[in-house]
Amino acid sequence: MIAAASLLMLGSGAAHVVVNAILKSGGDKMSSRALIDGSSALLILPLVFVVPLPSGAWLYLAASWITHLVYLVCLIRAFEGADMSAVYPIMRGTAPVIAAAVSVFVLGDPITLAVAAGVLLVSLGTMLVAWWNAPSRKALGWALATGATIAAYTVIDAAGVRAAPSSLSYIAWVFLMLGGGIGALFAVWRGPRFLSEARAQWKPGLIAGVLSIVTYGLALWAYRLGDVPRLAALRETSILFGVGIAVFALREQVGRSRVIGAGLIAAGAGVLLALR
């Protein structure tokens, strides 16, 4: 089960960075996010009718909705203020350390010295990736706030998916509530601008909606099988893919610190994957 959870999380990380690259490359970020989340809600809707109700997890779903709303606002502001390669590593690098600490004290998940070392290597590596192209103070603040909310919803959803009757039950309802609620809220917020963005970006938005289900669905499934400290850190290997996309797709520059940081991330992931 540990191996399966680890593989699920690596797949989640790979898909996650593509979603964020699509969001970053779009025009109006809030409209793009509304399109992505709305698409994921429509795609997941049929599953709601064939899975059991998430009895025992409704409070977690409500808390997750609120936390994700704050997270998405912070994420959008961070992406509006700096390059993806500058803020993405910061927001993803701070999250696993916070999530590991909270999950140990709140969920009672075990953590060993080796797991802690792997988590720290991944986090230090992601932070080092951003060092060469540090964002402005404002963008840095939004990125750090995003990292804190990532840690918060990670712990909330890990507890929620464990409390639900099945992984699919929680996955279906979390996407329906997040996509339908937050997506609709953002669409109304942007008004006519959302309509123009939807006409121009519906294809990438639909692709990102599918990948959103893949990335977070795999993560939630993994959290039901394994412990948060190891798995939350493994998901941040997405930065390895993120650096590649930032350089080759978004045509951003890369420096020595990013190469060293990527090496630390790979080393941390290797430690976490080698543990049994």
- Let me know: does 222 contact 15? Beta carbons within 8 Å: no
Tokens of 20: 């964020």
Summarize pLDDT for 147-184 with one digit per residue, the tens: 899 889 889 999 999 999 999 999 999 999 988 888 88
Tally of helices (H runs) and strands (E runs) in the chain: 12, 0
Q: What is the DSSP track for 156-220? A: HHHHHHHHSS-HHHHHHHHHHHIIIIIHHHHHHHHTHHHHHHHHHHHHHHHHHHHHHHHHHHHHH
Confidence band for 63, pLDDT divided at 50, 70 and 90? very high
Q: Are 171 and 221 in contact (CB under 8 A)?
A: yes
Q: How far is the C-alpha of 116 from the C-alpha of 271, rounded, in Å?
A: 10
- Reported as half-sphere exposure (CB side, CA atoms, 13 A), residue 126 has a value of 32
> What percentage of residues in the chain have a pLDDT greater than 70?
84
- pLDDT at position 103 is 84
Mean local confidence (pLDDT), 108-126: 79
Integer-rounded Cα Rg, in Å, for the chain is 18
Q: How confident is the model at residue 132, as a pLDDT? A: 63
Indicate whether 36 pLDDT > 80. yes
Over range 53-62, report the average pLDDT.
Answer: 94
Write down the pLDDT at residue 67.
94
Decide if pLDDT at 254 tops 70.
no
Residue that wins the pLDDT comparison between 48 and 8: 48
Residue 117 Ramachandran class (φ > 0 left, ψ -120 to 50 alpha, else beta): alpha
Query: What is the pLDDT averaged over residues 35-56?
Result: 91
Residue 250 burial class via C-beta count within 10 angstroms: exposed 0-12, middle 13-18, buried 19 and up: middle
Q: How far apart are CA 86 and CA 139, in angstroms?
A: 9
Of 24-33, 179-188, 217-226, the least confident: 24-33
CA distances from 198 to 22, 43, 187, 195 (A): 14, 16, 10, 5
Q: Give the model's pLDDT for residue 98.
A: 82
Residue 44 has pLDDT above 80, yes or no: yes
Which of 1-15, 168-182, 184-198: highest mean pLDDT?
A: 168-182
Tokens of 2: 């540990």
pLDDT band for position 79 (cuts 50, 70, 90): confident
Q: What is the pLDDT of residue 70?
A: 93
Q: What is the pLDDT of residue 201?
A: 79
Res 226 pLDDT > 70: yes
Tokens (6 digits) for 118 = 């792997």
Q: Is the pLDDT of residue 209 over 60?
A: yes
Mean pLDDT of the 192-215 span: 83
Q: How far is CA 99 from its chain centroid? A: 12
Which residue, chain included where needed, has tokens 């795609």? 43
